[in-house]
Chain A
Amino acid sequence: MEQILANGVYLGSQYAMIALGLTLIFALMNVLNFAHGQMYVIGGFVTYTFYGQWGVPFVLALVMSCVTLAILGALIERYLFAPVIKGSAREESTMLLAAGIAFFLDALILIIFGEKQRGVPKIVNGVFNYDFRLIMPYDRILICVLAILSIVAFIGLMQYTKTGRALRALAQDRTAAQLMGVNVDRYSMIGFALGAMLAGLVGGLLVTITGVNLGMGGPTSIKAFMMVMIGGAGVISGAIWGGIILGFMEAIGLAVLSQYGDITYLLIFISLMIFLAVRPQGLMGKPWG
C-alpha cells in the first residue's frame, strides 16, 4: 500500500509538470499544443547529450534543457503561431500548425539524435528501503523532490511576480489585459517559452530514470491531454490535480490489475469518458473553456 502511494506521488509530480506546460500554453493562446510530447523528448535528449555524453554536471545539463526549449518555444510562437492566429479565419487552424510542428520536431529528433533508446548514468546510487514495504531508489526520490520544487517555483512565479500577473491577466481576458497596458505579443511569447521550458525540464529530469527515445513524444502528448481534461483546460490548479490523479490511477492500476494484462489504460480512458460526460469542463475548468 505504501509502495503504491509512493509510486503515485512520484508519477503524479512528473505528470503534473507536463500538464502544467500544456495548460499554460492553452490558457494563454487557446492553442492545443500537439508538439508538447516532442518538446519533452527534446528536453530529454539535450540533458542526455550534456550530462550523459559530455560529462557536464547534471544541474547544468538541466538548465541547458530549459534554455534550449525556452528559445525553441519563443521562436515557434513568434514566427509560427502568432502570425497564423492573426491571419486565419478559424482559430482551429492552429491545430494543424501544432500537428505540423509535432511532425517536424519528430523528424528533427530522428535526424539529430537517432532512433535508439538513450539513458544516462545514475545521478545518485542506492535504494531507500523501509522494512521492505516501501522500496524506492534514491534517484527517483530526488527527481520527485525536484519536480515538486519546480511546481512550487512555477506557482510562485505565476502568483507573485509581475510576469506571472501579466500572464494570468492574459489568460483571463486577452482584450482586457491589452487595455490595461499588458504587452500582449511579448507576454504570449514568454508564456509559450515558459510552457515549452516546463516540458524540457521534465524531459531532462526523467531521462535519468526512464531514459529517452523518439517514440515517447506522441504518447506523452496524449497523457498530457488526459490530465488537462481531468483538471479542466487552461486552469493551473486543474493541471496539477489532473497530473496527480492520473499518476495515482496509473500506480494503483498497475499494482491491482497486473494479473489481467495491460488493461489499466483502457480502464482509465473509459472512466475518463464517463467522467467527462458528467462534467464536461473537468474538475476546475470554466464551462466551455
Chain B
Amino acid sequence: MMGFSGKQLVGVGVFLVAIFVGVPLLINVTGRWDFYFTLTSVALLSIASAGVWLTFYIGRINIGQGAFALIGAYVSAILVVKAGWSFWISLPAAGLFSGLVAVLIGLPILRLRGVYFAMITLVLTQVVTLTALALSITNGAKGISNIPLPSGVAIFGIPLVPDFGAMENTKLAFYLTACLLMVVTYAALYRLVNSRLGHLCRSMQQNEELASSIGVNIAYIRVVIFTISSFFGGIGGAMFGSIAQSVYPSTFVVADSVNFMLNCFLGGLGYVFGPMLGTLVLYFGWDLLFEIGKYQMLVYSLILIAVIRFLPNGLLSVRLGKEGKK
C-alpha cells in the first residue's frame, strides 16, 4: 500500500508548497493579515475533525470531539499557567490526557451504536462543559486567561523552536505550526487507514458481528481508535487555547462538536482528506459570510442544506461520480 503513484506525490508536493509558501506569500501581497487567524483555526479544527472522521471509520457517529478538545485546552493551559511547563511539553501531555479520558469513557460507551452513541457523545460534550464550570482548578466560568505564548526550545544550546513571545510576527509562526501539526496528523491518519488496523476498521464499519466472528478483537480496536481520535481532539484544542491565550468552558460547546461532525460529513466520509476540505469550506464560508451581517447564519445554513440536499455523500463525491464507483 505504500507505493505512491507519481500523480499522488505531485499532488502532495503542490499542497505542501501551497500551504507553507503560497499562502504566506499571497497574504503578504494582498495584506489580508486576518486570514492567518482564519487559516490557523481551519488547520487546528481540521486536526480535531480528523479524529471524528476516524471514529466514523469504525462506524460510530462521534459528536463528542468538543469535549476532548476542551479537555486538551484545559490540560495544556493548567500545565503552562499553574505548573509552569513549557507549552511544547504540555501539548502532547494534553493529547495523552484526552486519550486517557477517552479510554475510561470509551470502555462503557463504545458498546453503544448508531444514534445511541451519537446522543451519548453529544451529552458528553455538555458534561465536560459543566465539569469545567464546577471544578476549581479550571476557575469555573472565569476560565483561564493570559496564557503565556509558547516559549522557545533549545537542545544543547541549539534553538529548535524560537520563542513565540519574542517574535514580531506570531501570526505567521502560529500558522506554520498549525499547518505542520495538520500535515503530520493527516499523514498519520493516511498511514493508519492504509495499515492492517485500517483494514480491520473497515471490516468493523461494515459489520461488527461478522468482523468479530472471524477473529477481530472489536472491543480492543474500537477503544484504540476512539483514543487516537480523542488524542487528535486534545492536540487541536490545546493548540487552539494557546493561540487564543485563554480557555473558557464555552471555548468548545455542543455546537462545536456538531460542527466537527459536519466537517466530516461535508468533506465526505469515504476520503481521508475529506474532513480537511470540509473544515476549510465550512469555516471559510462562515468567515466570508461575515460581511452580510445578520443574514450570515441564514445564508450559511441555506448553503449547508442545499449541499446536503444535492450532494448527500459529501463534496468529494462529485469526483467519485465522474470516475464511476470506487
What is the CB-to-nearest-CB distance from A260 to chain B, in angstroms, rounded to a whole number? 9
| Interface contact B262-A87, CB-CB below 8 Å | no
Q: Does B266 contact A (CB under 8 A)?
A: yes
| Interface contact A273-B123, CB-CB below 8 Å | yes
* Stretch in B26-34, B124-132, B178-186, B211-219 touching the partner: B124-132
Complex CA–CA separation, A95 to B295 (angstroms): 23
Given A26-B115, A218-B255, A288-B114, the answer on whether A87 and B134 have CB atoms closer than 8 Å is: no
| Interface contact B309-A265, CB-CB below 8 Å | no
**Residues in B whose Cβ lies below 8 Å from that of A282:** 116
Proximity string of chain B (103-142) to chain A, C-beta cutoff 8 Å, 1 when within and 0 when not: 0010011011111101110111011001101100000000
Q: Does B101 contact A (CB under 8 A)?
A: no
Proximity string of chain A (108-143) to chain B, C-beta cutoff 8 Å, 1 when within and 0 when not: 101100000000000000000000000000000000
**Residues in B whose Cβ lies below 8 Å from that of A80:** 305, 309
| Interface contact B119-A104, CB-CB below 8 Å | no
Contact with A95, one of B61, B134, B255, B313 (Cβ below 8 angstroms): B61
Q: Does A6 contact B (CB under 8 A)?
A: no
Complex CA–CA separation, A96 to B64 (angstroms): 15
How many A-B residue pairs lie within 8 Å, measured between CB atoms?
137
Contact with A32, one of B119, B295, B308 (Cβ below 8 angstroms): B119
**Residues in A whose Cβ lies below 8 Å from that of B262:** 96, 99-100
Q: Which residue of B has the minimal Cβ distance to A108?
A: B298
Q: Does B164 contact A (CB under 8 A)?
A: no
Q: Does A261 contact B (CB under 8 A)?
A: yes
| Interface contact A87-B312, CB-CB below 8 Å | yes
| Interface contact A269-B109, CB-CB below 8 Å | no
**Residues in B whose Cβ lies below 8 Å from that of A26:** 115
Complex CA–CA separation, A266 to B116 (angstroms): 19
Given A26-B115, A263-B134, A276-B112, the answer on whether A96 and B126 have CB atoms closer than 8 Å is: no
| Interface contact A32-B312, CB-CB below 8 Å | no
**Residues in A whose Cβ lies below 8 Å from that of B304:** 96, 99-100, 103-104
Q: Does B269 contact A (CB under 8 A)?
A: yes
Given A218-B254, A228-B119, the answer on whether A276 and B109 have CB atoms closer than 8 Å is: yes
| Interface contact B258-A34, CB-CB below 8 Å | yes
Given A233-B115, A288-B113, the answer on whether A97 and B309 have CB atoms closer than 8 Å is: yes
Complex CA–CA separation, A226 to B300 (angstroms): 28
Complex CA–CA separation, A226 to B108 (angstroms): 17
Q: Does B301 contact A (CB under 8 A)?
A: yes
Interface residues of A in 257-289 (CB under 8 A from B): 261-263, 265-266, 269-270, 272-274, 276-277, 280-282, 288-289
Q: Does A229 contact B (CB under 8 A)?
A: yes
**Residues in A whose Cβ lies below 8 Å from that of B269:** 90
**Residues in A whose Cβ lies below 8 Å from that of B133:** 262
Size category of the A interface is 35 or more
**Residues in A whose Cβ lies below 8 Å from that of B113:** 280, 288
**Residues in A whose Cβ lies below 8 Å from that of B119:** 32, 225-226, 228-229, 233
What is the CB-to-nearest-CB distance from A36 to chain B, in angstroms, rounded to a whole number? 12
Q: Does B74 contact A (CB under 8 A)?
A: no
| Interface contact B266-A96, CB-CB below 8 Å | yes
**Residues in B whose Cβ lies below 8 Å from that of A218:** 254-255
| Interface contact B294-A111, CB-CB below 8 Å | yes
**Residues in A whose Cβ lies below 8 Å from that of B258:** 34, 99
Complex CA–CA separation, A34 to B259 (angstroms): 13
Q: Does B302 contact A (CB under 8 A)?
A: yes
What is the CB-to-nearest-CB distance from A279 to chain B, in angstroms, rounded to a whole number? 10
Known A83-B309, A263-B134; 8 more pairs at CB < 8 Å: A30-B115, A97-B305, A103-B301, A228-B119, A233-B115, A273-B105, A276-B108, A276-B116
A-B contact pairs, 12 of them (CB 8 A): A32-B118, A84-B312, A87-B312, A93-B265, A96-B262, A100-B262, A100-B304, A110-B297, A225-B122, A233-B115, A233-B119, A263-B130
* Interface of A toward B, CB cutoff 8 Å: 26, 30, 32, 34, 80, 83-84, 87-90, 92-93, 95-97, 99-101, 103-104, 106-108, 110-111, 218, 222, 225-226, 228-229, 233, 261-263, 265-266, 269-270, 272-274, 276-277, 280-282, 288-289
